[in-house]
Structure 1
Amino acid sequence: MSSGGGSCVAAVDIGGSGLRVQVCRDGRPGPVRTAPGVRIQPGGIDVPTLALAARGLLAEEGGPQAPDVVVWSMRGLLFLADRVEVMRTVRSTLGAGRTVVVSDAVANLVGALGGLRPGAVMAAGTGAVAFGTDFGDTWRRVDGWGHVLGDVGSAAWLGLEGLRAALRAHDGLPDGSSVLLRAGVDAHGEPATWPRQVMNAPDAPERLAGFAPAVAGAAPADPVAAALCARAGQGLGDSLLAAAVGLEDPVLAATGGVLGAPVVRAALEERLTAQGRHLTPAVGGALDGARLLGAHLVEAGTLPTHAAYLLVG
């Protein structure tokens, strides 16, 4: 799918690990430029700062200051920001001819499936959210509740569970892992300092996610770590299946760094197989989805909209 002759589409994807911008001119994607990502403030996500950062990255691209279309894909759109205010801020700061504000769950689905196709996708990175839609009557999101209340199977969840297992070993409780305790000390210092590091820091989800590779790396030799990775995959599978409810013969896909852990991915696939489903390889991610949504708007002149998940202005 091209972005149309003579058009300029700017795709912006914002997650916990960073802000990414890619400009597509005349159907040709440019380089991906990055800046720091979401930081949760007491009032929610600081969208004006993110918009200014995106404008700076767009300025590095040169050429027309205002793209024809900007697609703004953002983590936390449903609960940590006012969608109308996000639209207003992005439109006024970036000045595009058309502005699309979309949940990263939708952008992930479009990117994974390579276009606006009915299906469901599990995005398992720092957080975890599953989303299924036919871009008509059914729009279904599962999990994505954040590292305190949910995001089961995500990197933040796996890191948190790993640190909990480490502290159980420290306290001499059942189901603890001395392997993870040593890894936790190497990563974060003495256990007495861990609560402040992962409870009060504005980047707590990213700090927790940073410990997930240690849990995955310990899984081949440590039964506790292996069990945590298996639980992560099972939880991801359950969310993906729930997101697909109501869709007829949906395509299922999964993306995200946590799936690079073999035990996690195997447990996810086993969960789907038990229900007669299977994974289709993902074509791309959220940034690709944002670009494809922009291309569709240029070519078709319209997009399916939803008050919570996909706004066009």
Structure 2
Amino acid sequence: MDADTVRVGVDLGQGGCRALATHGPRTGRADTAGFWGADPDTLVVEAVRAALADLGPRPDVPVHVGVGMTGLNGQPPAVDRIRAGLRDLVRHGTLRVADDSVTAYLGALGPVPGAVVAAGTGVVVLALGATVARADGWGAALGDRGSGHWIGRAAIRLALRDHDHGRPGPLLDAVTAAFGPVEALPARWRDQPPTPEHVAGLTTTVADLARAGHDGARRIWDRAGRLLAESVTAAVRRSGPVGAEVPVAGTGGLFTATDLLLPPFTAALRAGLPQARPVPAAGDPLTGALALSDGRTTPTPLAALTVHVDLAAGVDIAEEVENR
């Protein structure tokens, strides 16, 4: 199939948009601004355009595009504008678009039952058992507990508390360096609030301080790990596990801080969900988006969460029929 088609995967997250195009052994890549950088549909189309350009000349073969998008909050995506933009790039092929929890799952575990927590600027959990269940993914204002944004916001609040108590220190210094004098923060949050990505930018500093022995920073990371485990436990219980063990994988930028996140995450996960078996993620959400572009290995419950259209015909395709 690879010799007769071009496959493109797109991972649109809050912190960036990545695309990978493949044709046989050749690849093309693109990295652009994330969800908050521009119109999401435009970002997806431009990422595909850049990845195809980086791939170089290609024969007149079908182009199959798989997209995982943040900001859908578990709802079916509207794909008309993406489809229209892609039809200016390719003559024929297919487009599959799903919530980024689906592509995170496919990348981390593939087509098997289990649970995946994707934690970067935001966080979402998807569990696949007797049914599919999702937890969190409510966005920065309403949820994303334990995410990069949550860590950054917790650090800001702790720094403001230190300021109130007359306790200067490296955390307060970091917040001032990132956002300006703390006395001006209320007005800034009211008049020009920073994006979740900007707030999550403090995560690296909080990690460095935790490793250096800062008690407050370490407590923030410990709480983040426990919150992520709570969301996994909730999703698995609702999905109805189908085996004696439930593989659980973590993916996203937050899980690169394994020394800080994994101990509290694993301890809380095993306490709340004894049948959980933590496993390393096989791949990232971009890998999952590329798998979605194919569609042949997408389990039916996840395929039902995917909008699939033919780029040439411009009509919806029933995934359930295709996957029988």
Would the TM-score normalized by the shorter structure come out above 0.5? Answer: yes
* Secondary structure of the corresponding residue to residue 227 of structure 2: helix
* 1:144–1:32 CA distance, 2 compared to 1 (3 A): same
> Could you tell me how far 1:188 is from its partner in structure 2?
2.4
CA distance in 2, matches of 1:52, 1:100: 13
Is structure 2 residue 226 aligned with structure 1 residue 226?
A: no
Query: What is residue 279 of structure 1 aligned with on the other side?
Result: 278
Tell me if the contact between 1:66 and 1:94 (Cα under 8 Å) persists in the aligned partners: no
CA distance in 2, matches of 1:237, 1:126: 17
Tell me if the contact between 2:4 and 2:62 (Cα under 8 Å) persists in the aligned partners: no
* Secondary structure of the corresponding residue to residue 219 of structure 2: helix
Query: What is residue 6 of structure 2 aligned with on the other side?
Result: 8
Query: What is residue 316 of structure 2 aligned with on the other side?
Result: none
Is structure 2 residue 115 aligned with structure 1 residue 120?
A: yes
CA distance in 2, matches of 1:12, 1:238: 29
CA distance in 1, matches of 2:26, 2:112: 22
> Could you tell me how far 1:284 is from its partner in structure 2?
0.9
Tell me if the contact between 2:103 and 2:289 (Cα under 8 Å) persists in the aligned partners: yes
Query: What is residue 310 of structure 1 aligned with on the other side?
Result: 306
Is structure 2 residue 102 aligned with structure 1 residue 106?
A: yes
CA distance in 1, matches of 2:288, 2:26: 13
* 1:89–1:203 CA distance, 2 compared to 1 (3 A): farther
> Could you tell me how far 1:50 is from its partner in structure 2?
1.5
2:39 to 37, 46, 53: 46
Post-superposition CA distance 1:56-89 (Å, at most 9, x none): 313343334885211111001237x872x3x212
> Could you tell me how far 1:294 is from its partner in structure 2?
2.0
* 1:20–1:30 CA distance, 2 compared to 1 (3 A): same
* Secondary structure of the corresponding residue to residue 244 of structure 1: helix
5+ long unaligned stretches in structure 2? 310-324
* 1:308–1:235 CA distance, 2 compared to 1 (3 A): farther
2:17 to 9, 16, 19: 19
CA distance in 2, matches of 1:178, 1:292: 47
Tell me if the contact between 1:4 and 1:295 (Cα under 8 Å) persists in the aligned partners: no
2:185 to 194, 201, 209: 194
Post-superposition CA distance 1:84-137 (Å, at most 9, x none): x3x212222113511101111010011001x22221100010101111124xx6
* TM-score normalised by L of structure 2: 0.82
* Secondary structure of the corresponding residue to residue 294 of structure 1: helix
Is structure 2 residue 136 aligned with structure 1 residue 161?
A: no
Is structure 2 residue 69 aligned with structure 1 residue 74?
A: yes
Query: What is residue 150 of structure 1 aligned with on the other side?
Result: 143
Which amino acid letter does the alignment assign opposite residue 147 of structure 1? A
Tell me if the contact between 1:143 and 1:151 (Cα under 8 Å) persists in the aligned partners: yes
CA distance in 2, matches of 1:231, 1:30: 40
Tell me if the contact between 1:123 and 1:130 (Cα under 8 Å) persists in the aligned partners: yes
1:210 to 197, 201, 206: 201
Which amino acid letter does the alignment assign opposite residue 256 of structure 2? G
* TM-score normalised by L of structure 1: 0.84
Q: Between Structure 1 and Structure 2, how many residues are aligned?
A: 295
CA distance in 2, matches of 1:303, 1:199: 44
CA distance in 2, matches of 1:101, 1:186: 39
> Could you tell me how far 1:25 is from its partner in structure 2?
1.3
Is structure 2 residue 64 aligned with structure 1 residue 34?
A: no
Query: What is residue 55 of structure 2 aligned with on the other side?
Result: 61
* 1:48–1:264 CA distance, 2 compared to 1 (3 A): closer
* Secondary structure of the corresponding residue to residue 281 of structure 2: coil
Query: What is residue 248 of structure 1 aligned with on the other side?
Result: 242
CA distance in 1, matches of 2:61, 2:5: 11
CA distance in 2, matches of 1:243, 1:68: 34
Query: Could you say what the CA RMSD is over the residues aligned between the two structures, in angstroms?
Result: 2.7
> Could you tell me how far 1:243 is from its partner in structure 2?
1.7
Query: What is residue 140 of structure 1 aligned with on the other side?
Result: 133
> Could you tell me how far 1:305 is from its partner in structure 2?
6.0
* 1:201–1:100 CA distance, 2 compared to 1 (3 A): farther
5+ long unaligned stretches in structure 1? none
> Could you tell me how far 1:289 is from its partner in structure 2?
0.3
CA distance in 1, matches of 2:208, 2:195: 21
2:230 to 213, 235, 238: 238
* Secondary structure of the corresponding residue to residue 139 of structure 2: coil
Tell me if the contact between 2:101 and 2:126 (Cα under 8 Å) persists in the aligned partners: yes
Is structure 2 residue 258 aligned with structure 1 residue 264?
A: no
